[in-house]
Structure 1
Amino acid sequence: MKTPLEPVTLGTSGLGRNPGDERLAEALLSGRFRLLDTSNEYAEGRSETFIGQALKNVPDADVTIFSKADRDVATGVFDGDRVMRSFEETTSRLGVETLPIYHLHDPMTITLREAMAPGGAVPALVSLREQGLVGAIGIAAGGWGTMVQDYIRTDAFDAVLTHNRYTLVDRRAEDILELATERGMTVFNAAPFGGGILSGSPRHAGRYGYRPISPEFAAHVERLRELCERRGVGLAAAALHFSLAEPRIHSTVVGITSLARLEGLDALVDTVIPDGFWAEVDALGTPPASPVD
């Protein structure tokens, strides 16, 4: 893939949901991190709209933006025509003509056979790539059984984005990483904090991947927290560096919902993980099953 990647990509799924996000959008274009991930349906299109407005206000911004095709929210339709409309909506909002990577996003309303059939979503993505309108195509989804693996096995895609499934406390995406690596695909690993539990968020202390956790899972997280305290490493920094240290992952997508979180990301990335730390993590044993599928 010709698109240059960096270890960290800024996720913008929450952009456009809060007052003052116009200022946050401009800050995303002006800092240290140069890759942005968005999607057609994030904040009902406002994520892309705010990024597009920020690009006009910061015309010299040296950023690369990835986006995703989404189903019709009202009907659930996700065919080839919908992919083309989604692409047109996205590029119009962003004010660009092409995208370096364009993902098929959460295709749970269609079967793989429907997606691959003539007139389906995947042939439309391939057509966009053949026309040079997108540099590469990807599959971006969470769980739903082996759906992501099944899409990877079609060999139609250049990239994959998984979230909440390969973290300090969850290895559920191991098969995805293996299949993608075998095919030379680019791998994005999103949500390294598991929806907030590994970032120290009190609001998400009892949830992983936005779902309630078991007592066993909570106990494992607490053991990790105690290890981090003994070694002088913040739990959030450890969670981020777990993903950054994985050679099969090309970029880790960190969701940015506020200026404070953006400003704090520098310190997390620059944290030095002490020698022997990962061996101590391994010594804690295999994490219990997470609540995500």
Structure 2
Amino acid sequence: MPEQQARRVPGTDIPLEAITLGTSALGREPGGERLARELVSGRFRQLDTSNEYAGGRSETLIGQVIGDGVTVFSKADRDPGTGVFDGDRVMRSFEETISRLGVSTLPVYHLHDPFTITVREAMAPGGAVPALVALREQGLVGAIGIAAAGGTLVEDYIRTGAFDAVLTHNRYTLVDRSAEDILRLATERRMLVFNAAPFGGGILSGSPRHASRYGYRPISPEFGRHVEKVRELCERWGVALPAAALHFSLREPRVHSTVVGITSVERLKALDALVDAVIPDGFWEELEALGAPPPSPVD
């Protein structure tokens, strides 16, 4: 695995691992109990979840099997019925999460997809962000982050200076650089950076089902041609496309942990080989020579 910047989670003595296992699918399918057990007993010991994943079932399943040496990050979510996302809701979301997980504190707690409020509302007295800050000041969370779709929205939250961490997804991959400003702003502020969805929702994992979609959206012909060039480059170098996609994130010094969504035990077991793959330097030189990728559907 490429060397990453040595970092600890802000406000804690917990070392940050280069791989974080994403659990948004945990609890949505049968067999979640088995997958949860595998997630906490394998090589990778860092999990990312959220209050709203599978209606809270992701956190519940993790809480049933969590043990020593496993680190769990979670996220505050708006009220699922009303969409309210104020300070009171953040506190309720936090209490629900720690109850499900069976823990008293969280190392990282993100503001998650705050689409029902403006940044000004989130920052105002009684808003979501002051509640997160209060949790940090009370020692109940080590670091607070912003995790959301939408590049400019994330940038606006970063510019407030309130956050220690950021999680971006489907915006910094082998075929997409739309998170460049997020990475720049976060690095300037010495924030922790989680880069999620290195496979772009499946198109870079080799999945035929997702071959015409990126970030869960239909791709343009121009974007599809660029993806095909990258695929051909991988074939010339004898490099598996998913391995190249994962290592693109792992080798980026501004990214401190790459969040890989795990949907099955089989995908978890396959991750070992992807992480251990060796990608020749010449491959990256030829990738750069392809030029900047065209706009992606998530821009």
Bin of the TM-score, shorter chain as denominator length = over 0.9
> Residue 117 of structure 2: SS of its match in structure 1?
coil
**Matched residues in 1 for 2:233 and 2:207: separation?**
18
- Partner residue of 2:120? 113
Select the residue among 261, 264, 271 that pairs with 1:255.
261
The residue number in structure 2 matching 1:68 is 75
Aligned equivalent of 1:234: 240
**Alpha-carbon separation, structure 2, partners of 1:146 and 1:288:** 18
**5+ residue gaps in structure 2?**
1-9
Cα deviation per residue 1:57-105 (whole Å; 9 max; x = unaligned)? xx4x411000000000111100000000000000000000000000000
Alignment partner of 1:289: what SS?
Answer: coil
Q: CA offsets per residue over residues 231-268 of structure 1, 9 Å max, x none? A: 01000000000000000000000000000000000000
- Post-superposition CA distance 1:83-128 (Å, at most 9, x none): 0000000000000000000000000100011000000000000000
Alignment match, 1:20: 31
How far has the Cα of 1:275 moved from its partner? 2.4
| 1:200-257 deviations in Å (ceiling 9; x for gaps) | 0111100000000011111111111111011010000000000000000000000000
Shift of 1:276: 1.0
Q: Distance in 1 between matches of 2:212 and 2:142?
A: 40
Report SS of the residue matched to 1:184: coil
- The aligned runs of 1:30-179 (5 Å cut-off) are 30-55=41-66, 59=67, 61-143=68-150, 146-179=152-185
Q: Distance in 1 between matches of 2:109 and 2:180?
A: 23
User: What percent identity do the matched residue pairs reach?
Assistant: 81
SS at match of 1:281: helix
Alpha-carbon distance in structure 1 between the residues aligned to 2:41 and 2:164: 29
Q: What's 2:204 paired with?
A: 198
2:192 is the counterpart of 1:181? no
Equivalence for 2:6: none
Q: CA deviation at 1:142?
A: 1.2
Letter in structure 2 aligned against 1:120: G
Letter in 1 for 2:88: D
**1:156-204 deviation per Cα after TM superposition (whole angstroms, max 9, x unaligned):** 0000000000001000000000000000100000000000000001111
Partner Cα separation in structure 1 for residue 271 and residue 84 of structure 2 = 37
Runs of 4+ more than 6 Å apart: none
Deviations 1:117-167 (A, max 9, x none): 000000000000000000010000111x51111100110000000000000
SS at match of 1:30: coil
Report SS of the residue matched to 1:25: helix
Q: For 1:155 and 1:243, how far apart are their aligned partners in 2?
A: 25
> For 2:231, what is the secondary structure of its paired residue?
helix
2: CA distance, partners of 1:215 / 1:113: 38
Amino acid at match of 1:100: P
**Residue in structure 2 matching 1:29, options 21, 40, 63:** 40
Match of 1:289 in 2: 295
Distance 2:281 2:28 in 1: 41
- Partners of 1:142 and 1:32 lie apart in 2 by 29
| Alpha-carbon distance in 1 for matches of 2:278, 2:240 | 11
Alignment partner for residue 244 of structure 1, among 242, 245, 250? 250
For the residues of structure 2 that align with 1:274 and 1:154, how far apart are their CA atoms? 40
How far apart, in 2, do the equivalents of 1:275 and 1:39 lie? 37
CA distance in 1, matches of 2:15, 2:69: 12
Letter in 1 for 2:279: I
* Matched residue, 2:3: none
Q: What TM-score do the two structures reach when normalised by structure 2?
A: 0.95
Say what the alpha-carbon RMSD is for the aligned residues.
0.8
